[in-house]
Amino acid sequence: MTSNGTPEKTGAAAGPNRLAAAFGRELSLASRSVHADDYTNSHTAVAPPMHVSTTFRYADDPNELLPWSDFDPARMDNPYIYSRASAPNTTRYEAILTSLLGGPVVSYASGLAAFHAMVVFLNPKRVAIGGGYHGCHGILKLMHKLNGLEQLELEDDNDLAKLQRGDVIHVETPLNPTGEARDLAYYRRKADERGCYLTVDATFAPPPLQDPFKYGVDIVLHSGTKYFGGHSDMLSGVLAIHPDRAAAAAAPGGGSWPQGLVGERLLLGNVMGSFEGWLGVRSLRTLELRVLRQSESAQRLVDWLVASSQKKENKADGGSNVIAEVVHRIQHSSLQPEASDPESWLCKQMPHGHGPVFSLWLKSEEHAKRLPSKLFLFHHATSLGGVESLIEWRAMTDAAVDRRLLRVSVGVEGWEDLRDDLLQGLQALSEELKN
Ligand SMILES: Cc1ncc(COP(=O)(O)O)c(C=O)c1O
């Protein structure tokens, strides 16, 4: 507090709760994206400075010297010592995400680095996991090599019955690559029945699309490379810890969960770079704008594809219907049966729209392989979540997937332009394959 009793505007004394104290309520997600890190400002510059230093000077006054062993690694206002422990740009990134995700955030060099750190921290003997991003299965295989960790099938009740106290149920929702959602309340009940942790990879539906903590999820993981970065130019991984877990001093090995994770990150060395932290802060400022726009455009494209594929002929297509001719199936959480019932778990879990990624199965592998090169606006590339729309013949990076599948990540271009690009590409493909 200042001498006249108002909350401090900046500096460590102001603290992360400064805005809520000043307004008497929590600010909107959009405002917190721009201001949740204001309390870390130590300079008058409006745009955050970039600090590339790996090492930081100790206090000049010998009486203020605080040896590393005496401070709490999870506090945001610790003095900086060495960037493998913490650094100013990644601290800002974590401060904003802590506010947006609703629990303390620890950042990592990539989404997979975060998944690895989470498994090392929870140290389960078994992990039940479904389909989804294949890299996470790869990490579990590595853990099997190291300590015999067993991988179980999430959608097999006999496998879930093998879970024991301290094991993990890991759910990805929405799923990579189809964009279909999974019911988190259902898996929370399953985890409670077996005394397990529930962890969720929420990469495909960042805020404001869903809040997994409402369903009692213990740790929420994001590949920050996708929507948090949002511009296809940085790698990042994020673990957010449920506030109740974070408050309890119950980390395996003692201390709190954030302390445990930060302490282990110091040893694993899997920190984000300072430049990535700086880019991440730049990107988070527009998270809500981007995500809502991408979600809405994806919905319009899915609706258009579904409606067009059901018509006998399509006016925009000169009387024929190339979509019905070439597209075999479309998958997205908005097409799950529950999506039409406002009281369903799905509508409650994703109240602000569906994810910006969906999948298309074309009639043959040859169709799927050839469509991307016919498009002008969609880049043929892997990854997702950036401002640029991407399409990927998924067989390029996932050996296990149906070879007719194309994954579509919708960017921030005008949706009508994306629609027209898809239509002309499908027409060109159909002509080419007729000849
Ligand atoms: C759902 C999901 N989780 C995790 C990852 C891994 O993230 P990263 O590439 O940042 O390591 C990805 C990458 O595509 C993903 O799609």
Distance CA 21, CA 33 (A): 17
Given this model, what pLDDT does residue 76 score? 62
Residue with tokens 């093998």: 162
Span 30-51, average pLDDT = 94
Which residue has better confidence, 149 or 1? 149
Ligand 1 pocket, mutate which of 118, 134, 139, 176 (most atoms under 8 A from CB): 176
Is 273 close to ligand 1, i.e. is its CB under 6 Å away? no
For the CA of 224, the closest atom of ligand 1 is 10
Residue with tokens 């991984």: 237
Span 148-172, average pLDDT = 98
Given this model, what pLDDT does residue 311 score? 83
Ligand 1 pocket, mutate which of 199, 219, 225 (most atoms under 8 A from CB): 225
Given this model, what pLDDT does residue 2 score? 43
**pLDDT tens-digit map of 100-130:** 999 999 999 999 999 999 999 999 999 999 9
Given this model, what pLDDT does residue 252 score? 65
Which residue has better confidence, 7 or 148? 148
Is 350 in contact with 333 (CB distance < 8 Å)?
yes
Given this model, what pLDDT does residue 11 score? 57
Residue with tokens 């002509």: 431
Is 235 close to ligand 1, i.e. is its CB under 6 Å away? yes
Q: What residues have CB less than 8 Å from 80, skipping those under 6 apart? A: 56, 86, 87, 88
Is 410 in contact with 422 (CB distance < 8 Å)?
no
- Residue 435's pLDDT band, with cuts at 50, 70 and 90, is confident
Distance CA 298, CA 353 (A): 10
Is 201 in contact with 129 (CB distance < 8 Å)?
no
Residue nearest to atom 16 of ligand 1 (CA): 133
For the CA of 384, the closest atom of ligand 1 is 14
Given this model, what pLDDT does residue 17 score? 87
Span 339-362, average pLDDT = 98
Q: Which of 183, 232, 235, 225 minimizes the C-alpha distance to 204?
A: 225
Is 111 close to ligand 1, i.e. is its CB under 6 Å away? yes
**pLDDT beyond 50 at 1:** no
Report the SS3 class of residue 27: coil
Span 302-327, average pLDDT = 83
Domains, the chain: 47-284 (3.40.640.10), 288-434 (3.90.1150.10)
Distance CA 159, CA 187 (A): 13
Q: Is 434 exposed, middle or buried (0-12, 13-18, 19+ CB in 10 A)?
A: exposed
**pLDDT beyond 80 at 319:** no
Span 324-334, average pLDDT = 97
Given this model, what pLDDT does residue 8 score? 59
CA pseudo-torsion sign 327, 329, 332, 333: positive
**pLDDT tens-digit map of 48-87:** 999 999 999 999 999 989 888 787 766 666 789 999 999 9
- Residue 4's pLDDT band, with cuts at 50, 70 and 90, is very low
For the CA of 237, the closest atom of ligand 1 is 10
